[in-house]
Structure 1
Amino acid sequence: MFEPIREQIKDFRKIVFVTGAGISQESGIPTFRGKDGLWRNYDAMQLATIDAFYQNPKLVWEWYNERRKNIIAAEPNFGHIAITELEKYAEVVVVTQNIDGLHQKSGSSRVLELHGSILKIKCTVCDFREEILTEFSENPPYCKCGNLLRPEVVWFGEPLPQDVWQESIKHINQCDLMVIAGTSLVVSPANILPIYAKQNKAFLIEVNPKDTEMSSEMDLVIRDTSANALPKFLSLFKEK
């Protein structure tokens, strides 16, 4: 599977992983797209907007509370664990589009969450922020200041947190290798991250069961799931 780069492994000192919904799906977390994208006959992509939230905060929070229960109960899979284990052999940074915290739960020490975290909440008006791992007693939940609380996630149409974005670009400009795992690369601006790495002459590996928007730009394409492929990738580093 990874035989073409066996001899190059020793040259990869800094690795950036760009991960998406595919790696979390293997831990039982549904994706927005495809057959998993409907919730009680609502299109999940339509619920993940600021307009939907203000039109019906109770409905949006019902959906997020169900997702939170599922995510809190989920465990990292072999893909997450392999990424964590790689820190023993190289500098590793994870830039993820996922909001589930599974990379941190697995033990990865440097995780940049482009789209925020469903495990965190923030006030829609004041500066209140907190990580909450339990159920809310009210729906929708309100801040002490009297205003609505919302998940600290990036909804469709909202900008990414610029501090996280800039730090991601910094690491990508420094990496020798980028591994794009479990993402279809259709969501902007995360889908331009491989371009930055390519410009920096980093080696690009895609791990995905299906073709993506950028498969033709990759140096190596692995048509498999992250949970199957990444432990084999890790084994090369153990051998070097």
Structure 2
Amino acid sequence: MKNLVVLTGAGISAESGIKTFRDADGLWEGHDVMQVASPKGYLNNPELVLDFYNQRRRQLLTVKPNKAHYNLKELETNYNVQIITQNVDDLHERAGSTNIVHLHGELLKVRSTENENDVIKWRKDLNLGDVCKLGSQLRPHIVWFGEMVPMLEMAIEITKKADILVIIGTSLQVYPAASLIEFVKRNVPIYFIDLNPNINEGAYKNLRIIKENATNGTDKLLNLLIQ
């Protein structure tokens, strides 16, 4: 089967009711991003950071995958589908997709502040005093600004092997995730699904823009890719 690589962003989860929490003025729920999504912010005010992600986690547990998520699962009947997501939710997993790389971490996991490989599944609030088995404070399993993106190399290798690339609900403005499009082989078809695409079809060879939201766009994608 052909390798179909899908890069997803906040736009696909927004249709499930997940707020992107980045306002027009760049603030995250009224906070400067560096206050709630950086190592320095965590050191300065860990309670604020933990509360920020506790609110995100609580909201995630109230929503469900939408049709776009299920459409991507349906593509697995005809393609080797690999999803590279910038989203920290688990909606792709809940929809049944089987090959998912989370570039920016996962809300429903936490990890030790001393050992980044000590990762634990977590569905409740995370508070100061919650520690790993060795006694170190736990933190959200999220890639904060200024931190390395450990799954990036895997994502690059997956993208290099793509026979088809699909981009859904991401502006391709956040690096390094935005650079992945540069790693596809020449002549690989690229489908860009977004209500307000910020690139034109002449930007890349074989680029086709589907100006729709994620649900309607993936409906069209199924018609195009599954004959």
Identity %: 34
The RMSD of aligned alpha carbons is 2.1
Listed as ranges, the matches of 1:1-240 within 5 Å are: 13-35=2-24, 37-39=27-29, 41-44=30-33, 46-126=35-115, 127-136=117-126, 138-139=127-128, 141-161=130-150, 164-197=151-184, 199-212=185-198, 216-218=202-204, 219-238=207-226, 240=227
CA shift at 1:105, angstroms? Answer: 1.1
TM-score by length of 1: 0.85
CA shift at 1:206, angstroms? Answer: 0.7
Post-superposition CA distance 1:170-189 (Å, at most 9, x none):
22111111111000111111
* Unaligned segments of structure 1, at least 5 residues: 1-11
* Unaligned segments of structure 2, at least 5 residues: none
CA shift at 1:121, angstroms? Answer: 0.5
Distance 1:125 1:74 in 2: 32
Matched-pair contact (CA < 8 Å) for 1:99–1:113: yes
Counterpart residue identity of residue 220, structure 2? K
CA shift at 1:215, angstroms? Answer: 5.9
CA shift at 1:65, angstroms? Answer: 0.3
With over 3 angstroms needed to count, the CA separation of the structure-2 counterparts of 1:71 and 1:215, relative to structure 1, is farther
Matched-pair contact (CA < 8 Å) for 2:85–2:101: yes
With over 3 angstroms needed to count, the CA separation of the structure-2 counterparts of 1:189 and 1:213, relative to structure 1, is farther
Distance 2:94 2:155 in 1: 20
Matched-pair contact (CA < 8 Å) for 1:125–1:147: yes
Distance 2:27 2:68 in 1: 23
Structure number with the higher helix fraction is 1
Counterpart residue identity of residue 223, structure 1? K
Distance 1:213 1:235 in 2: 23
Count of aligned residue pairs for this structure pair: 223
TM-score by length of 2: 0.90
Distance 2:182 2:122 in 1: 36
Post-superposition CA distance 1:49-81 (Å, at most 9, x none):
111111111111011000001112221111111
Distance 2:133 2:77 in 1: 44
Q: Which moved more, 1:141-150 or 1:116-125?
A: 141-150
